[in-house]
Amino acid sequence: MIQLAYLIPLFPLIGFLINGLGWKSMPKQAAGFLASLMMLVSFGLSLAIFFEVKAGAADTIIPLFDFIHSGKLLIPFAFKIDALSSLFLLIITGVGFLIHVYSTSYMHEDEGVVKYFAYLNLFVFSMLLLVMGSNYLIMFIGWEGVGLCSYLLIGFWFKNRDYTNAAKKAFVMNRIGDLGFLVGMMLVLYNFSTLNYNELFAQINTNQTVLSGSTYTWVAICFFIGAMGKSAQLPLYTWLPDAMAGPTPVSALIHAATMVTAGIYMIARSSVIYNQSEFALHFIAIVGLLTAILAATIAIKQYDIKKVLAYSTVSQLGFMFLAIGCGAYTTAVFHVMTHAFFKALLFLGSGSVIHAMGGEQDIRSMGGLGKKMRITQITFLIGCVAIAGIPPFAGFFSKDEILASAFAHSPILYVAALGAALMTAFYMFRLYFLTFSGKFRGTHEQEHHLHESPAAMTFPLIVLAILATVSGFVGLPEVFSEHHSLNEFLHTAVTNFGAHHMEHNTELMLMGLSVGLVSVMIGLAYARTKSPNFVANTGLAKVLENKWYVDEFYDAVVVNPLVQFSGFLDRIIERKGIDGGVNGVGKMVRWAADRMRLLQNGQVGAYLFTMVIGIVLIFVLGLFFVNF
């Protein structure tokens, strides 16, 4: 069965080709049905393979063909199925399928729906390449492929200049990260002459190639720069909030559940490399923590329902990198999984709200929606509870594990991370209360239109809500259970750096502390939103509402100077300098030729005179330089 794993990306590819080539003539409903069906088949296959791996099937390489073969460089186009990739396959195809189903209803009125499903299938195909590749180059193909799809889907409504700007920004910022990835690959190739995971990690583990620690640090940092771009970490995170310009199911699938977690996958996959460089791990921990805090502060003061969720995603990704930085790769993967469920749920829930509100995204105009849309309300609440970290919902277990690994590392990390977690609870419940409880603050027309979404949209919400509730049990903390099923499952593929064993009492105390404080935060959020009054923000609140002015800072420090410098190169150096010089030479030649022309004046006397002078000159010179 595992040998058939290449079929998993094949089906979305077929879906893409049919919808993509038939974009003119494909009926709208058929497009959505076909795309979802392809996802369902892939999900079925992923499930079968997952259970086979879980039952103990060995790591498998599935070679397809030689992609690049030049001298000593051989890069096969091959897939690798092991515990890590099979888990990601399940998340991608599973959540992917639900979001495809959701989209059939959400997008059914859009004129570009066939194109939409083509892109969505292409995205899943690329994402599958990313996690299934057996070497870094195949990962890179998927990596850039998901970037392309993200670009196409952010700018899906291409008539809007702001949306296409957001799409461009996303691609360019990702490219900056990709440069890091590329240099990382070059370094690996240079030092190990292979990009295949198996051979590379075997070389490192068996010390066949002995390298200085700093080489590992460079490789690790370069790959992490790639992850910064794709997984929206400081300083390359500003594209993700802008990416909310895309249709909401896209935000759920690409910009919350799957693509943005590619950076986590990459580092978990490379755990062997990262374990060689403690410096790189510290660096990652700090970047992740800062991102988690910064994004959480911004989320507190956003009024766009999707922007709150976007900053929340950035912040949660920061948590995952914090876990990685603490050497707990499997914990990060655990949080990828639970986050995929509850964040997809929250985004799809927000989509349901936006749908009902006729496109309105400002939570200041919402309120009291719970009465009209019960399923959306309850599932959204489950999502909020899960992300806030209330037991026994999924987010509690994964977040608790991150906090515990931070604590084992340093209490300072723990306190800072806990602070970010508390902010998470606050802004999520602020969002929930402002949206679903209280009185409706929009127009009468909007109120008249409010309705629960159709079954194709509520069905994914319900499934995801169930997953967000129960999925935490695969990773019960030591206090409650001796078996951490996820860690046991992943341990063949991922090696954590250092192992933390915490006193059970300490662990219980920390849990109690965080749950207690989170509850206080929820109460605070309720109190603050009970009778909302939206006055213009001042002071720090205004800075937060304006996202710490980071975009303005980038524009002032990078973008504008670069454009001005380019203009200078074009107008002054290129046209006046180099081209001016060349034209000057040309003009000089013409000028000289003009003068020379006068010498040929047609008078034989003048010619004779010149000739005589010439002969005399030669004669004189000959006299002086006899040996000439």
Partner 1 sequence: MVLVLLLVIPFLVGIVSFLAKDAAKNVALFGSLISLALSIYVAAYCGTEQIAPVSYAWMPAIGAQFSLAADGMAAMLCLLTGVIFPVVLLINRHKEIPNPAAYYGLILLSQAGLMGVFLASDALLFYFFWELALIPVYFLCSTWGGERRIPVTFKFFVYTFVGSLMMLSALIYLSLQTNGVNAMSLENIMAAGKSLPAMQQHFIFWLLFVAFAIKMPIFPFHTWQPDAYEQAPTQITIILSALMVKMGVYAVMRWLIPVMPQAAQYWSELIMTLSIMGIVYASLIAMVQSNIKRLVAYSSIAHMGLMCAAAFSGTELSNHGLMVQMFNHGINITAMWVIVNMVENRYGTQDFKKMGGLASTAPGIAIALVIISFANIALPLTNGFIGEFMLFTGIFQSASQYHIVFMAVAALGIILGAVYTLSMVQKVAYGENNSGIATVAKMNAAELVAIIVLLAFIIGLGVFPQPLLDLVLVK
Question: CB of 175: closest distance to partner 1 in angstroms?
Answer: 5
Nearer to partner 1, 177 or 288 (CB): 177
Q: What 3-state class would DSSP assign to 393?
A: coil
Q: Does 555 bind partner 1 (CB under 8 A)?
A: no
CB closer to partner 1, 519 vs 566: 566
Contact 448, 317 (CB under 8 A): no
User: Min. distance of Cβ 219 from partner 1 in angstroms?
Assistant: 13
Extract the tokens encoding 48: 């079968």
**From the CB of 42, what's the least distance to partner 1, in Å?**
19
| 69 binds partner 1, rule: CB under 8 A | yes
* Per-residue contact flags (x/-) with partner 1 for residues 9 to 38, judged by CB under 8 A: --------------x---------------
**Other CB atoms within 10 Å distance of the CB of residue 344:** 30
Q: What are phi and psi of 68, to 5 degrees?
A: -130, 125
Of 52-60, 311-319, 455-463, 581-589, which segment contacts partner 1 by CB under 8 A? 581-589
Least Å distance between CB 551 and partner 1?
16
- One-letter amino acid for residue 206 of the chain: T
| Interface residue with partner 1, options 562, 592, 613, 621 (CB under 8 A) | 562
DSSP secondary structure string, 110-144? -TTHHHHHHHHHHHHHHHHHHHHBSBHHHHHHHHH
145 binds partner 1 (CB under 8 A): yes
Give dist(CA 278, CA 146) in Å, integer: 30
Residues 228, 235: Cα–Cα separation, whole Å: 8
Contact 99, 252 (CB under 8 A): yes
- Residue in this structure with the two tokens 């802008």, named with its chain if needed: 242
What radius of gyration do the chain's Cα atoms show?
A: 31
DSSP string, 214-275: HHHHHHHHHHHHHHHHHTT-TTS-THHHHGGGS-HHHHHIIIIISGGGHHHHHHHHTHHHHT
CA nearest 327: which of 265, 266, 285, 269?
285
- Residue 40: which residues within 8 A CB-CB, separation 6 or more? 97
Cα–Cα nearest to 349, from 322, 370, 320, 318? 370
Whether the upstream peptide bond of residue 392 has omega within 30° of 0, thus cis, is yes
Q: Which is nearer to partner 1, 179 or 381 (CB)?
A: 179
- State which residue, 74 or 524, has the beta carbon closest to partner 1: 74
Query: Environment class of residue 159 by beta-carbon count within 10 Å: exposed (0-12), middle (13-18) or buried (19+)?
Result: exposed
Q: How far is the CB of 193 from partner 1 (least distance, A)?
A: 10
Q: Do you find a cis peptide bond into 454, omega within 30 degrees of 0?
A: no
569 contacts partner 1 (rule: CB under 8 A): yes
**Residue 462: partners with Cβ closer than 8 Å, 6 or more residues away:** 375, 379
- Is position 4 an interface residue for partner 1 (rule: CB under 8 A)? no
Q: Which residue, 137 or 511, is less far from partner 1 as judged by CB? A: 137
Q: At its nearest, how many Å lie between partner 1 and the CB of residue 263?
A: 18
CA atoms within 13 A on the CB side of 570: 6
Measured from the CB of residue 190, what is the shortest distance to partner 1 in angstroms?
Answer: 6
The H-assigned helical ranges of 301-328 are 305-325
How far does the chain reach from its first CA to its final CA, in angstroms? 89
User: What is the pattern of x (binds partner 1, CB under 8 A) and - over residues 182-221?
Assistant: xx--x--xx-------------------------------
Q: Which stretch binds partner 1 (CB under 8 A): 35-43, 149-157, 349-357, 518-526?
A: 149-157
> From the CB of 595, what's the least distance to partner 1, in Å?
19
Binding positions for partner 1, 48-67, rule CB under 8 A? 65-67
Nearest-approach distance from CB 289 to partner 1, in angstroms: 27
Burial of 190 (0-12, 13-18, 19+ CB in 10 A): exposed
Distance between CA atoms of residues 59 and 80, nearest Å: 7
Task: Determine the interface stretch with partner 1 among 3-11, 78-86, 100-108, 557-565 (rule: CB under 8 A).
Answer: 557-565
- Cβ–Cβ < 8 Å for 401, 416: no
Q: Identify residues 585-624 at the interface with partner 1 (CB under 8 A).
A: 586
Stretch that binds partner 1, among 159-167, 250-258, 294-302, 369-377 (CB under 8 A): 159-167
The correct pick among 91, 98, 137, 245 for binding partner 1 (CB under 8 A) is 137
Q: How far is the CB of 23 from partner 1 (least distance, A)?
A: 8
Whole-number minimum distance, CB 277 to partner 1, in Å?
18
Beta-carbon neighbour count of residue 349 at 10 Å?
Answer: 35
Fill in the per-residue mask, 289 to 328: x = in contact with partner 1 (CB under 8 A), - = not in contact: ----------------------------------------
Q: Which stretch binds partner 1 (CB under 8 A): 136-144, 286-294, 343-351, 412-420?
A: 136-144
Q: Which of 14, 48, 141, 456 binds partner 1 (CB under 8 A)?
A: 141
How many binding residues for partner 1 (CB under 8 A)? 49
The reply on whether position 223 binds partner 1 by CB under 8 A is no
- Contact string (CB under 8 A) for partner 1, positions 164-183, x = contact: xx--x--xx--xx-xx--xx
The residue (of 144 and 401) whose beta carbon lies closer to partner 1 is 144
One residue of 7, 455, 556, 582 binding partner 1 per CB under 8 A: 582
Backbone torsion region of residue 15, taken as left when φ is above 0, otherwise alpha when ψ lies between -120 and 50, otherwise beta: alpha
Structure tokens that stand for 243 in this block:
């990416």
Residue 144 binding partner 1, by CB under 8 A: yes
CA–CA separation, 24 and 440 (whole Å)? 42
DSSP bridge partners of 60: 81
563 binds partner 1 (CB under 8 A): yes
Q: What is the smallest separation between the CB atom of 76 and partner 1, expressed in angstroms?
A: 11
Which one, 40 or 148, has the nearer CB to partner 1? 148
Cβ nearer to partner 1, comparing 1 with 582: 582
Report the interface residues with partner 1, using CB under 8 A.
23, 65-71, 73, 137, 140-141, 144-145, 148, 151-152, 155, 158-161, 164-165, 168, 171-172, 175-176, 178-179, 182-183, 186, 189-190, 562-563, 565-567, 569-570, 574, 578-579, 582-583, 586
